[in-house]
């Protein structure tokens, strides 16, 4: 395989994905709780980033069906990581919020992910790290070339919303506006 070929790039991306999965998903989740699964972690992270939200918000934010989001929230409630209560104005809606235990767990996962990523990045030459970031941004921008695909790609990071995110930059270039924090 030639290094310039799409096949080699695909191979590298598969390896990159495997390293990322192990670094920021599998190991940190195992370290914080034997009961934690990737889907529970995604749900917990979403609620952590968005504060008070509805099951519909979880479904939209995690690109899942309403019944699947409801089941995910039920699992988080059973673990006492979130609470689910009726909306005072519309009883058809439920309000999802983190418990103290859920908030602590979400922070532990985030801290472990960042620490693991930092260990990898610290072993890299600083110039290579900058090149990696620039290359990833360029790759993502090329993959989300218009406003619609930017909205589909957006991770709806809530309180962590960064107006300088590459997804927001593509959206802003296409529309003149920025993606609103959700």
Question: Could you state, in chain order, the average pLDDT of each consecutive group of 10 residues for the chain (182 residues)?
Answer: 90 93 89 90 93 92 93 97 86 88 95 94 96 93 86 74 81 84 63
Residue (of 54, 167, 66) closest to 175 by Cα position: 167
pLDDT of residue 132: 95
pLDDT of residue 150: 82
pLDDT of residue 87: 76
pLDDT of residue 169: 85
The DSSP annotation for 88-140 comes to SS-TTSEEEEE-HHHHHHHHHHHHHHHHHHHHHHHTS-HHHHHHHHHHHHHHH
Domain 1-123 = CATH 1.10.10.10: yes
Q: Which residues of 105-116 are buried (b: 16+ CB within 10 A; e: fewer)?
A: bbeebbebbeeb
pLDDT of residue 36: 92
pLDDT of residue 11: 94
Q: Name the β-bridge partners of 95.
A: 85
Q: Name the β-bridge partners of 97.
A: 83
Residue (of 50, 40, 46, 53) closest to 95 by Cα position: 53
> What's the CA gap between 136 and 69, in Å, rounded?
30
Residue (of 144, 150, 140) closest to 171 by Cα position: 150
pLDDT of residue 107: 95
pLDDT of residue 134: 94
pTM equals 0.81
Q: CATH 1.10.10.10 region(s) of the chain?
A: 1-123
Dihedral in degrees, nearest 10, Cα atoms 145, 149, 151, 155: -90
């Amino acid at each position: 395989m030639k290094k310039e070929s799409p096949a080699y790039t695909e191979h590298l991306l598969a390896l990159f994905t495997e390293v990322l999965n192990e670094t920021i998903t599998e190991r940190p989740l195992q370290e914080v709780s034997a009961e934690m699964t990737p889907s529970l972690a995604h749900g917990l992270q979403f609620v952590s980033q968005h504060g008070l939200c509805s099951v519909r918000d979880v479904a939209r934010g995690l690109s899942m069906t309403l019944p699947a989001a409801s089941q995910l929230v039920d699992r988080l409630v059973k673990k006492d990581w979130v609470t689910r209560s009726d909306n005072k104005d519309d009883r058809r809606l439920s309000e999802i919020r983190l418990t103290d235990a859920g908030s602590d767990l979400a922070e532990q996962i985030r801290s472990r992910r960042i620490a693991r990523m930092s260990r990898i990045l610290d072993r890299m030459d600083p110039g290579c790290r900058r090149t990696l970031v620039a290359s990833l941004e360029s790759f993502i921008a090329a993959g989300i070339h218009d406003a619609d695909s930017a909205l589909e790609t957006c991770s709806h990071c809530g309180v962590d919303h960064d107006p300088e995110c590459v997804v927001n930059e593509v959206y802003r270039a296409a529309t003149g506006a920025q993606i609103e924090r959700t």
